[in-house]
A and B are shown apart, each in its own frame.
Chain A
Amino acid sequence: MIYQDSKTLLEVHGLCATVNGIEILKGLDITVKSGEVHAIMGPNGSGKSTFAKVLAGHTAYEVTGGSVLFEGKNLFELAPEERARAGLFLAFQYPIEIPGVANSEFLRLSYNTVQAQHGREELDPLEFDDFVREKMNLLDMNHDFLGRSVNEGFSGGEKKRNEILQMALLAPRLAILDETDSGLDIDALKIVSQGVNQLANKDNAIVLVTHYQRLLNHIVPDFVHVMEAGRIIKTAGKELALELETRGYDWVSAEHQAAMATV
């Protein structure tokens, strides 16, 4: 939701990034304020996931130009773990399986690390257990997932729920959800969306990276951006998503090229 007294959380200017020497992001601009929900859409290979990974600080992506300010601070001066502690959260498109690391232990370590960063109280295993079970209920998650290894043997939908559970625990200022809807059936999509909606408030912001309109029926965006070839080429309100659903991306691309040609 758009608020009058909102704070700017993320300011991206002219962001360029490469993977293995190939330029994927080519001058991306976006500004995200507190309280807002943004959707980034676009065809495969347009750079949506790369943008998400660059924000989180994945080492395979090299930033070659532009700037990113997170709450006014240069994001690139922070290591990935410092970004997480500062309140930036990426829900992974493909959450990693980590055999041998108990989910409960991982969640608690992560939660306590972020708590400590903010000078808040850390929880011992028993206290945390109560706390995390409550959060799991929001996502209709089976408590058995606590005793299993991180994401190991989880179905696609279970992995995505586990991502949103982490978001619920860490309560980030800015959450980037990278194709969280993929792999979810209708019921799971509803539950996950409800969970995300409950976490959204006027102090935080959510960026949804998605292919499909259907997620946006459940999490209603304030802005819809279309990405193509490493740039955002169109930004509009939530109605744009519906239009994309019926008309595809080609017309946006054509409109953009026409606009560029007249410049």
Chain B
Amino acid sequence: MSTLTSIRRPPASYLEALLTGLPQLPTSSLPWINELRAEAVNRLDVLSLPTRHDEDWRFTDISPLTKRSFTPALSSPYLEAADVARFHIEEATTRLVFVDGIYAPLLSSAASNSGVVVSNLQTVLATHAAVIEAHLGRHAAFSHNVFAALNTALLHDTAVIVVPRKVSLAAPVHMLFIATQKEVINTPRCLVVAETGSTVTVIEDYVMLHQSHWQKEAYFTNAVTEVVLEDNARVNHIRIQSEDSKAFHIANCAVSLGRSSNYQSVSVALGGQISRYNLDVLLAEGAECAVDGLALITDSQIADTHTCIDHTQAHGVSHQLHKCIVGGSAHAVFNGKIMVRKGAQHTDSVQSSRNLLLTSKAHIDTKPQLEIFADDVKCVHGATIGQLDSEEVFYLKSRGLSDSVAHNLLTYAFAAEIIDRIPIASLKRQLEQSVFEQTRSLS
């Protein structure tokens, strides 16, 4: 059904090397997909890799990433269900698993009953072409974003979730991306469409599976996620990034909120040598969002979060709490922009960036920004950077807790405020455990 072509260009640049590394992308039977890819390839001719001279990247030096070469995985290793069982989330009855970016149907448990789609692009493209064409690649703009363009140029498969009108999915849907190979670029992609009045909880989960011979080698995950909420839809979006500590992870997520829709997101960044998460949220009239984040890093990790919450119409509500806990000589970056457009009267927006430095070498850059063009709005933002409260430490010690237990508990508590917002009990427990372990090693 599809013929094979190759992208024939000399690997003159880093980006081209990545592109040509993928020898043959199957041409889709749908012309618009081919056009989308071609458009992205064309943009890559124009775009260059960001450096610290770019305003959007001035705190994060990605030269360790661009110094290395990566090739797309041509095949993924055969994994037994037992190999990945520990990544399962018990509440999630449907699961889409991608191994090194390649869909693993035997590890997945898809669904397509009562109009609900939980599947991969290649399976449902023919049956759900209209909804996919309307949204895939339409929200995550790549014209000025080299990593989104790269992902789109390599677009092959995608985790697709479509929830039809007024359908409410009780169980969360788990999108699991497992990295198993070093020196590989993975380009995961997700598309979530919640149609009018529907409700869904999705978990976007990035993990690595150590092979026995694996000595912590780098790989590169370059992800793009698009989430669409039609009018009155509700989406809970939980994003967990627990890549290998040597990995590079760059992700772009674009969320589009229809009228009176509600988007709640919690993103947690634990892994990665360098990780970057760009989240763009666009709100229509009366839409509400809560966008919360936690970065917990140590050693020489870098975790950079850029968010833009864009109120385009009136009566929108956005709440954002972003926390960073930084140990070792790690470096966390938060850049959070709240945009209130001219017509977005009665916008209610609260943004807070709270940061905890655990060592003298840890480093945090935080930049909350408000850009307001409407005159009748309620917008509050603020940032704090600090160490653990000495009165709290003393209180715990006065009850017999050792200095290190007191520090560990308080660091954990700082993180728990975000973790507690995850509406899935087993995931919350699991994260609490891993955060507790990690804070123990930090303090």
Contact = CB atoms under 8 A, between A and B. Distances in A.
A90 B396 CA distance: 12
Contacts of A100: 412-417, 420
A170 interface: yes
A110 B397 contact: no
Contact of A109 (B392, B405, B414): B405
A85 B401 CA distance: 9
Q: How large is the interface on B (under 10, 10 to 19, 20 to 34, 35 or more residues)?
A: 20 to 34
A95 interface: yes
Interface string A143-160: 000000100000000000
A95 B399 contact: no
B399 A106 contact: yes
Contacts of A99: 413, 417
A106 B417 contact: no
Contact of A85 (B389, B400, B415): B400
Interface in B381-410: 389-392, 394-403, 405-406, 409-410
B410 A84 contact: no
Contacts of A80: 394, 397-398
A217 to B, nearest CB: 28
A113 B405 CA distance: 10
A81 B401 CA distance: 6
B211 to A, nearest CB: 37
Contacts, number: 73
Given A98-B396, A106-B396, A109-B401, 17 more contacts: A58-B394, A81-B401, A84-B397, A96-B392, A100-B413, A100-B415, A101-B409, A101-B412, A101-B413, A109-B405, A110-B396, A110-B401, A113-B400, A113-B402, A113-B405, A149-B413, A170-B400
A92 B396 CA distance: 12
Interface string A19-33: 000000000000000
Interface string B273-312: 0000000000000000000000000000000000000000
Given A58-B394, A101-B410, A106-B396, A81 B402 contact: yes
B395 A96 contact: yes
Contacts of A92: 395, 398
Given A59-B390, A96-B392, A98-B410, A170 B417 contact: no
A166 interface: yes
B392 A98 contact: yes
Nearest to B395: A96
Contacts of B405: 109, 113
Nearest to A80: B397
A195 interface: no
Contacts of B415: 100
B438 to A, nearest CB: 15
B439 to A, nearest CB: 11
A99 B399 CA distance: 17
Given A96-B391, A96-B392, A170 B399 contact: yes
